[in-house]
Structure 1
Amino acid sequence: MSSITNKIRASAPRNSELLAILSETDHAQPALEQHRRHVDDLNNELSAIRERISRLDKQRAKELKEHQKYRDSVMKRFAYRVSGKTDKFEAKAEKEEKEYFAVLQQERQAKEMEEHLREMRSKAIEVQSDLEVELNRHTEAQQQLDNLYDSIFQGPTPAFPDEDRLEENARNCLKSYQNARMVVETEQHVVHLLTEAQERVYKALNYTEEALSHSRMDMFGGGTLSDMMERNALDKAESQLGQMLSLVRQAQRASQKVQDLPAVGIAQGSLLGDVFFDNIFSDMAFHDKIKDSRAGLYRARDSLRHQLTLAKARHQDAEQDLILHTESLKRAREELQNARQAIFERVAYGHLDDPAYAMEQPPPYQLGT
C-alpha cells in the first residue's frame, strides 16, 4: 500500500500542472472551429471575387476595342458629319466610353476587394495557427492526464460508482462549456465584422460628402476639374460600400441573427457626358442623385448601428453564460479530483470496506497548489 501512496503523492504536482494547462486551453477547440469556418468563408469570397475579376478583365478588353474604334476613327466621324448625324456619333461614342470606363471601374474595385479579403485571410490564418498550438497543448495535456488516471482507474470502476458518475459529469460539463464558448466566439466574430463594416460606411459617407462639395462647385462653374474630383470621391465611396457589404455578408453567414441592410448604392455618371453635355440642369440633377446616395448610406449606417448594438448585447449575454459554464466545469473537475484522492486514501490505508471511513473525506485537493 505504501507504494500506492507514494505513487499518488508523487503524481499530485503533475496532476495539478496538467489541470492548469487544461483550464488555460479549454477555449482552443471552439475558438479554432470558429476561425476555421471564418477562413473557409474568406477563401470562398476570394474565389468568387477572382472569378469576377477574370470575367471583368475579358469584358474590359472587349469594351476597350469598341471604345477605341469610335475614339480613334476619323472616317466614322467624317461619315456621320457628312450625313448630318454628328449628334448620333457623339452619343454612340459616349455610350462606348461609358461602358468601357464602367467596366474599368468595376474591375479596379474588384481588385481592391480582393486585396482587402487577402489581408483579412492572412490575419485570420495567423490567429488560427496560434489556436492550433493551444489546441495541441490541450490535447497533449488531456492525454497525459488520462494516462495518469488510467494507471489507477482503468475504464469503468464498479467498486467506485461515485468516481464514474463524477467523471461523466465532468465530461458533460466540458461539452456544455465548449458549446457556450462557441457561442461567445461566434458573437465576438460578428461584433468584429459589424464594427469593421461600420467603419466602412462612415468612410463612404465622408467620400460622399466630399463629392457633394465638388458637385456644388460644379454647379457654379467648377468645370472639368470639379467633375473629375467629384467622380473620384464617388468612386472611393463605392469601394468602401462594397467592402461594407462584404463584411455584412460574412457576419450573416456567421450568425443568422444578422439582418439585411436597406438597399443602398452610389450615384455614378459619365465623365464624357459631363464634358460634352455639361450644364446647370444636368449638374443639379446629378447633385440630387448624390444626395439620394447619402440618404441611403445614412439608412444603412443606422441599421448597422442597431445590429451592432444587438450583436454586442448577444455577446455580453453569451459571456455571462460562459462564466457559469466555466465555474461548473471547474467545480466538476475539482469534485472528480477530490473523489479520486479520497479513493487513493482509502486504497492506501486499506479501508475500502469500512463504511465509517467511507464517510470521512480527506481534505480537498486544491487546484493550482
Structure 2
Amino acid sequence: MESVQSKIQAAAPRNQELLQTLSETDYAKPALEQQKRYIADVEKEIRQLDTRLKELEQRRKKELKEHEKYRDSVMKRFAYKVSRKQEKFDVQAEKEEREYFEVLQEEHKANEMRKNLGNTLAEAQRQRSELEGAASNHDQAQRGLDELYDSIFEGPTPEFPEEDSKEYSANDALNQYHNMRVRVESETQVRNILDNALQKISIAKYALAEARSHSRMDMFGGGMMSDMMERNALSKGEVAFTEARMLVEQASRMSPEVHPLPQVNIAQGNLMSDVFFDNVFTDMQFHEKIKQSQFELERAVKDLQAQRLNADQRSTSLKQQLRQQSQGLESARVALQKVREDVFQNHAASQ
C-alpha cells in the first residue's frame, strides 16, 4: 500500500499549483457579488427611465396634436379674428407651442440619460464576464485542492486534533478575508462612480459658464441667436448635473457614507420673456439667475470633491486591512499545510 508520505511527495507539485491559483483568484468571488449588485442597480434605473420615456412620448404626442391644431387651424384663426380676439388666439397658440417644445426637450434629456446608462451597463457586464472567468478558475482550483486532500484524508480525523484546529482557523481566516474583500470592492465601486459623477458635474460647470457668456452677449444685443445658444448650454448643464446627481444617489445606495448632492436649480429660459418680451431688463434678470445657478453648482462640486476624497481614504484604509487579512489567510493556509505534512510524516513513521 502506498504510504502517506509518498502520497504527500507525489501531490506536492500539484498542491503548490492549486494554492497559487487560489491566492491569485481569491478576489474574484466577492468582486463578482458586488458587480452583480451594481448591475442590478443600473438595470433598475434603466427600467425606471424607460417607463418615464414612454410617459414622455405620450405627452409629446398629445402636445404635438394641440400645437398642430392651433398652428394649422385656419377656420379657428378666422373665427377669432372675426370676433376681434386675434390676440387671444395668438396667446393660446404660443402656449401650445411652448408646452410642446418643453416636453420635447424633456424627452431629449431623458433619452441622453438612457443612452449613457446603456453604455454604463454594457461596461459593467463586460467586467462581470471577466470576474466570472476568474471565479470559475478559483472554484476549479478549490475543488482540485479538496479532491487532493480527500485522497489523503479519507473520512474524519479525530486522531489528528491539531489538523482539525488549523483547518478551522484557515476557514475562519478565509471568511474574514471574504467579508473584507466585499467591503473593499464596494468602496472601490463607490469611488469609481464618484469619479464619473465628477466628470459629469465638470461638464455641467463648463456648460453654465458657456451659458453665462452667451447671456452677457444677449444683454448687449445678441438677439435670438444668443438666446438659443444660452438655452442650449443650460440644457446641457441640466442633463450633466442630473446624471451626476443620479450617480451620487447610486453610490449612496452602496455606501452609507455617501450622501446626496445639495440642491441645484439650473436656470431655464422662458419663451415669452426670452422672445416675445425680450429686453435688457429681462436679460439682466435671467443673467442673475444663471449666476445663482453657478453658485449652487459650485457648492455641489465642492461637496462631491469632499465625498470623493473621503471615499478614497476609506478605500485606502480598507485595502490596508485587506492586506492584513490576506497575510493572515496565507499564514493560516501555510500552518494548515504544515500541520498536515507533519501529520503525514508522523503517520508514515508509525507504520
TM-score range normalised by the length of the shorter chain: over 0.9
Match of 2:148 in 1: 148
Superposed CA RMSD in Å reads 1.5
Match of 1:359 in 2: none
What's the CA shift string for 1:314-337, capped at 9, x where partnerless? 111110110110000000000000
The correspondence of residues 333-344 of structure 1 with structure 2, limited to 5 A, is 333-344=333-344
Deviation for aligned residue 1:272: 5.5
* % identical aligned pairs: 50
Deviation for aligned residue 1:20: 0.4
Q: Tell me if the contact between 2:249 and 2:259 (Cα under 8 Å) persists in the aligned partners.
A: no
What's the CA shift string for 1:183-237, capped at 9, x where partnerless? 1000010011111101111110100110111111111111111111111111111
TM-score, normalised with respect to structure 2: 0.96
The correspondence of residues 51-130 of structure 1 with structure 2, limited to 5 A, is 51-130=51-130
- Supply the AA of the counterpart residue of 2:215: S
Distance 2:59 2:123 in 1: 33
Deviation for aligned residue 1:273: 4.5
Match of 2:207 in 1: 207
Distance 1:219 1:81 in 2: 36
Distance 1:131 1:16 in 2: 23
Distance 2:142 2:60 in 1: 57
Give the count of matched residue pairs: 351
What's the CA shift string for 1:211-269, capped at 9, x where partnerless? 11111111111111111111111111111112111111110111121112111121112
Deviation for aligned residue 1:144: 0.9
Q: Tell me if the contact between 2:194 and 2:304 (Cα under 8 Å) persists in the aligned partners.
A: yes
Match of 2:230 in 1: 230
What's the CA shift string for 1:338-368, capped at 9, x where partnerless? 00011111112217xxxxxxxxxxxxxxxxx
Match of 2:16 in 1: 16
Match of 1:367 in 2: none
What's the CA shift string for 1:10-53, capped at 9, x where partnerless? 10000000000000000011100000000100110110111110
Determine whether 1:307 maps to 2:307. Answer: yes
- Supply the AA of the counterpart residue of 2:176: S
Deviation for aligned residue 1:280: 1.1
Match of 2:255 in 1: 255
Distance 1:17 1:201 in 2: 48
Determine whether 1:50 maps to 2:50. Answer: yes
Distance 1:304 1:66 in 2: 42
What's the CA shift string for 1:257-304, capped at 9, x where partnerless? 111211112111234642221111111111111112111111110110
- Supply the AA of the counterpart residue of 1:108: H
- Supply the AA of the counterpart residue of 1:245: R
Match of 1:172 in 2: 172
Determine whether 1:288 maps to 2:317. Answer: no
Q: Is there any run of 5+ residues in structure 1 with no aligned partner, and where?
A: 352-369
Distance 1:71 1:338 in 2: 87
Q: Tell me if the contact between 1:156 and 1:164 (Cα under 8 Å) persists in the aligned partners.
A: no
Q: Tell me if the contact between 2:264 and 2:296 (Cα under 8 Å) persists in the aligned partners.
A: yes
Aligned to 1:256, the other structure's residue is in SS state coil
Mean Cα displacement is larger for which, 127-136 or 253-262? 253-262
- Supply the AA of the counterpart residue of 2:246: S
Distance 1:277 1:210 in 2: 23
Distance 1:129 1:155 in 2: 37
Distance 2:209 2:248 in 1: 23
Q: Tell me if the contact between 1:94 and 1:273 (Cα under 8 Å) persists in the aligned partners.
A: no
Distance 1:298 1:90 in 2: 41
Aligned to 2:157, the other structure's residue is in SS state coil
Distance 2:261 2:68 in 1: 40
What's the CA shift string for 1:43-93, capped at 9, x where partnerless? 101101111100000000001111122223334344444444444333322
Match of 1:39 in 2: 39
Aligned to 1:349, the other structure's residue is in SS state helix
- Supply the AA of the counterpart residue of 2:201: V
Match of 1:363 in 2: none
Determine whether 1:192 maps to 2:185. Answer: no
Determine whether 1:348 maps to 2:332. Answer: no
Match of 1:268 in 2: 268
Mean Cα displacement is larger for which, 284-293 or 179-188? 284-293
Mean Cα displacement is larger for which, 67-76 or 257-266? 67-76
Distance 1:303 1:343 in 2: 59
Q: Tell me if the contact between 1:214 and 1:226 (Cα under 8 Å) persists in the aligned partners.
A: yes
Deviation for aligned residue 1:306: 1.1
Aligned to 2:3, the other structure's residue is in SS state helix
